[in-house]
Structure formats: structure tokens, C-alpha cells
Amino acid sequence: MTSWHEEPRAAFDLETTGRDPAGARIVTATVVLVDGDGEILEHHEWLADPGVEIPEGAAAIHGITTDHARRHGLPAAEVVQGVAAVLTRLFDDGVPVLAYNARYDFTVLAQEGLRHAVGTPVPSPVIDPYVMDKQADRYRRGKRTLTAVCEHYGVGFENAHTSAADVLATLRVGRLLADRYAFLRKSAPDLHASLVVWAAHQAANFEEYLRRTEPDAVIERDWPVLRCAGENRSTVEDRTTVEDRTAVEDRTAVDAGRPAAP
């Protein structure tokens, strides 16, 4: 069997107006397709006018201001349509799409599709190096942001928090993880199925930890897209929560002396 990382694969990333995937609007989007050796076959980029003000905090991260987006960006609906069309074609062709913290990006895209009456694909097969890294190295302390994971594995990463740079880093980290850990070498559909289970277990572990002090805490299990986005904020993980929670989550599992869910 040929592993997913030895075949053509793509990566997808968004930069947005905010942390909450239910309300965030797309500012930039990138999809890159590579061959089995990692050579770029297609590179798609979009700049959107999100139709709302881009908060200063978000602009400070990705560098796109409201004025720049309004002057140079495409209408948001057109960007959503373009991104959805490329991803739909890739999924229809059986090409796996990598996304780091896929829950965020695919939920934002789905919500934007609903907002602009644009159909978006059912994301499958998806490969998420964020979930993979947590499964492969469960007890490592520290953050699991893309920047932190690249630093840990020695993956070069320049211009972080631009969608173009993030997709290339995601591809490199995904390849490295598959090279290093034999259990990640599967067909794309099989790995997608495993990631659904692993992501749910990881969310359940964090929920268990939170309920020690917040008895009603709920962490959404769905992956790679949240079905409940916008219905109940307590169930929706924003980008910062997902990235920053892992130092606490992993340390708790170690200190408690119990293994993370398989």
C-alpha cells in the first residue's frame, strides 16, 4: 500500500477577521497541490474584501488591513466560491487536503458558504498534522501551534500567519510526521477515519479536564468541521483556544499519570 504522503496531496489555509470560526470572515486563502515528491503542481491564492472591518489585532497577525482588503480584495462571495470549487475538485479526485487545525479552517469555510449561499464541499479526505502530532507525541509539553511544531521538528517556517506560508509549512510537517511515525503511513481515507477518532478522544480528554472547575464545559468532538458552529459558543473551539490549550491539556495528562485516549 502506498502511503498518503508519497502521493499527490494538497494543503489549505485561511487567514481571517477573528478567532471564532462561527463568525470569522475570510481575508486570505491559499490552496497548494503538490506531487508525490512535494513539487508544486498548483498554487491558488485569494484576497477577499470580507465586507466587515478587519480588527486591528487580526491585521497585526496577517498584515491585511481593512483599507487594503477593500481596495484590492475580491467580493467575499466570489472568494468563497473559488476556494470551494478548487477544494471540491481535489476531493472529487481523491486528493487528500492537509489543514493544520482543520476544525478551524473548514468550519470558517462552511460558515462563509452559508453566509453567501455558496455550496462548500464535504471535506474528505482531510489530514491534520495538529491532531497527528498530538497523537504521536502525547506527553510533550508546550504549545502545539504551527510555529511551535515547526520549531520542534526543525522545519523552516518564514512569514508565519500568511496563508501561503502556512500551507507550505503544513505540507512539510505532515510529510515529516509520516516519515517519522509508521502508524501515520496509511491511505488517505484510512488516515482520515483514524483522525476522526483521535480528534474526538483528544477533545474528550480536554473536556474532562475543564469539568474539574467548569462542570458544564463542552468541547465539540466533530472533526474536520464543526456542525454546531454558531449554535452554542461553549461548544466551539476558536483558533486561539485550540492552539493554546495543549500545554495545559498535555501537562494535565502527564501529571495525572494516565494515558491519553488511543
d(CA 221, CA 207): 10
pLDDT at 29: 97
Q: Which three cell numbers stand for residue 124?
A: 474528505
257 vs 143, residue with greater confidence: 143
Enter the pTM of the model. Answer: 0.88
- Tell me what the mean pLDDT of segment 95-111 comes to: 98
pLDDT at 228: 52
SS3 17: coil
pLDDT at 255: 31
Which are the contacts of 49, defined by CB distance < 8 A and separation ≥ 6?
Answer: 69, 70, 73, 74, 75, 76
d(CA 153, CA 8): 23
- Tell me what the mean pLDDT of segment 26-42 comes to: 97
SS3 189: helix
Would you place residue 161 in the very low, low, confident or very high pLDDT band (cuts 50, 70, 90)?
confident
Which amino acid, one-letter code, is at 165?
A
pLDDT at 122 over 50: yes
Domains and CATH numbers, the chain: 4-255 (3.30.420.10)
pLDDT at 238: 53
The stretches of the chain forming alpha helices (DSSP H) are: 56-62, 66-72, 76-92, 102-116, 129-136, 146-153, 163-180, 188-210, 239-256
Q: What is the share, in percent, of the chain residues with pLDDT greater than 70?
A: 87
What does the pLDDT look like over 133-149, one tens digit per residue? 999 999 999 999 999 99
What does the pLDDT look like over 206-256, one tens digit per residue? 999 999 999 999 999 999 999 854 443 334 445 545 444 544 444 333 333
pLDDT at 240: 45
